[in-house]
Amino acid sequence: ATNVGILAMDIYFPPTCIPQEVLEAHDGASKGKYTIGLGQDCMGFCTEVEDVISMSLTVVASLLEKYNVDPKQIGRLEVGSETVLDKSKSIKTFLMQIFEKCGNTDIEGVDSTNACYGGTAALFNCVNWVESSSWDGRYGLVVCTDSAVYAEGPARPTGGAGAVAMLVGPDAPIAFESKLRGSHMAHAYDFYKPNLASEYPVVDGKLSQTCYLMALDSCYKQLCHKYEKLEGKQFSLSDAEYFVFHSPYNKLVQKSFARLLYNDFLRKASSVDEAAREKLTSFSALSLDESYQSRDLEKVSQQLAKPLYDSKVQPTTLIPKQVGNMYTASLYAALASVLHNKHTSLAGQRVILFSYGSGSTATMFSLRLQEGQHPFSLSNITNVMNVAGKLKSRHEIIPEKFVEIMKVMEHRYGNKDFVTSKDTSLLAPGTYYLTEVDSMYRRFYAKK
């Protein structure tokens, strides 16, 4: 199989959200802290009727229906998630309800978990399968699904929720340049979930930012090195049209792109012009550790990167800014954003993605885009995802209600013997929702 990659995509996020400006005022944070400081516009969240399983059911059913894919045509189904509802039974097995009904139980794959990286691991598994000798000619299907919720405090506004489904196969409009990949895997305690009774992570916010940037540097170096070996010339920011980042909050994405510019400067890449080189010269003697701590470097490189950021990154930020961190789905929501914003001009372009999962695992990889053929075309993917429509039809929830919902969810997490609210009026038709968790902890879902 050649040009293996993403044939089709769909995205789902809850219809319930809270504007960051409102949350900011409610939390007593200084004005602009969440919107400018973190760079976020709005945060989506699940109410008691939705969870990572219902969102994954919704997005898979929607993808199969809208692209007219027969469930029998799926030969591998992989899920990436870090929201654990069961320590043994995978989310994938819940999704099998859709496929069993059509008589297809011959589907490989289970769940992949490591913070926000599981979706990328799942995607690589599917791409590798299609490229391998065990491929049977059917499609792979990848689902990234997460609900990011934090305890009250500075991390709470960096929550979010959503699910992305991607159909994988040959001759894809979004094809992998499989040789262009760099990974960085290390042991870190930056963000982890050791308390199995709570959905909330233990997080060292500052450390997590540094770990993210260290992994970014390392992956970029690897990717540049591989590119140079393959192409016999240097790689720089000018060799890709868009840079798509895992987006815990937008400010970190701004810092990350600036960091790539600093890398290009240190590598003496031709993409860095004379004026920028002059402004960065005073930082060239910093040790690596010092460079992560330097606020001046952060500011100067962000200023220098701003024009390139506006063209190469800003179009990828729409959904992550509007919905928040969707953990495993975050990177692919950013990819969906650039498709939404630029689908008419993407043919022939290269897009670089950076996936980061705390703990820590990270990969930077490259995709090559072409228009493709209906239904697996960039324009149809954009139509199906209907990002603008989905964003517009959301409902803003007042902060008092949001806090109340978080309290209910805290209590419900890991619990049994409850039925959920009968009020599903905010959900769009076709949305799956949780109805009951019985005395044996079995979860039941219905479709609206």
Closest separation in Å from C-beta 120 to ligand ACO: 13
The number of helices, as runs of H, and strands, as runs of E, in the chain is 14, 19
* Shortest reach from residue 144's CB to ligand ACO, in Å: 13
216 binds ligand ACO (CB under 6 A): no
- CA atoms lying within 13 Å on the CB side of residue 198: 12
Residue 358 interacting with ligand ACO (CB under 6 A): yes
E strand map for 51-95: 74-80
Active site residue 219: no
Pairing of strands 395-396, 16-19: parallel
Whether 46 sits among the annotated catalytic residues: the reply is: no
Q: 37 or 414: whose CB is closer to ligand ACO?
A: 37
Identified binder of ligand ACO from the candidate list 1, 21, 27, 37, rule CB under 6 A: 37
Under rule CB under 6 A, how many of the chain's residues touch ligand ACO?
23
Residue 113 C-beta: closest distance to ligand ACO, Å? 14
Looking at the Cβ atoms of 53 and 203, the one nearer to ligand ACO is 203
Stretch that binds ligand ACO, among 27-35, 231-239, 310-318, 378-386 (CB under 6 A): 27-35
Residue 272 falls in which region: left (phi positive, over 0), alpha (psi -120 to 50) or beta: beta
Nearer of residues 63 and 148 to ligand ACO, judged by Cβ? 148
* Residue selected from 43, 52, 107, 155 as contacting ligand ACO according to rule CB under 6 A: 155
Q: Give the residue ranges of the annotated binding site.
A: 208, 251, 255
Listed residue (15, 21, 84, 80) closest to 44, CA to CA = 15
Catalytic, 65? Answer no
Nearer to ligand ACO, 32 or 137 (CB): 32
* By CB under 6 A, residue 183 contacts ligand ACO: no
Could you list the beta-strand ranges (E) of 267-308: none
User: Long-range contacts of range 431-434, CB-CB < 8 Å, 24 or more positions apart?
Assistant: 431/12, 431/50, 431/54, 431/58, 432/54, 432/55, 432/57, 432/58, 432/61, 433/49, 433/50, 433/54, 434/48, 434/49, 434/50, 434/51, 434/53, 434/54
Residue 30 found at the interface with ligand ACO (CB under 6 A): yes
Helix (H, G, I), strand (E, B) or coil at 255: helix
Distance CA 140, CA 60 (A): 12
Contact residue for ligand ACO among 1, 84, 154, 350 (CB under 6 A): 154
Sole window of 34-42, 105-113, 412-420, 437-445 interacting with ligand ACO (rule: CB under 6 A):
34-42
Footprint (CB under 6 A) of ligand ACO, residues 231-270: 248-249, 251-252
Q: Is 301 in the site for ligand ACO (CB under 6 A)?
A: no
Site mask for ligand ACO (CB under 6 A), range 96-135, x = bound:
--------------------x-------------------
Give the Cα-Cα-Cα angle 352, 353, 354 (nearest 5 degrees).
130
332 binds ligand ACO (CB under 6 A): no
Q: Residues annotated in the binding site for CoA, as ranges?
A: 208, 251, 255
Which residue in 158, 337, 341, 380 binds ligand ACO (CB under 6 A)? 158
**How many residues are given for the chain?**
448
Coil, strand or helix at 383: helix
Q: Percent helix, strand, coil in the chain (nearest 5)?
A: 45, 25, 35
Q: What would the two tokens of residue 431 be?
A: 């949305």
Q: Which residues have a Cβ under 8 Å from the Cβ of 298 and sit 6 or more positions away?
A: 255, 258
> Which stretches of the chain bind ligand ACO, using CB under 6 A?
30-33, 36-38, 116, 154-155, 158, 191, 203, 205, 208-209, 212, 248-249, 251-252, 325, 358
Residues forming the active site: 82, 116, 246
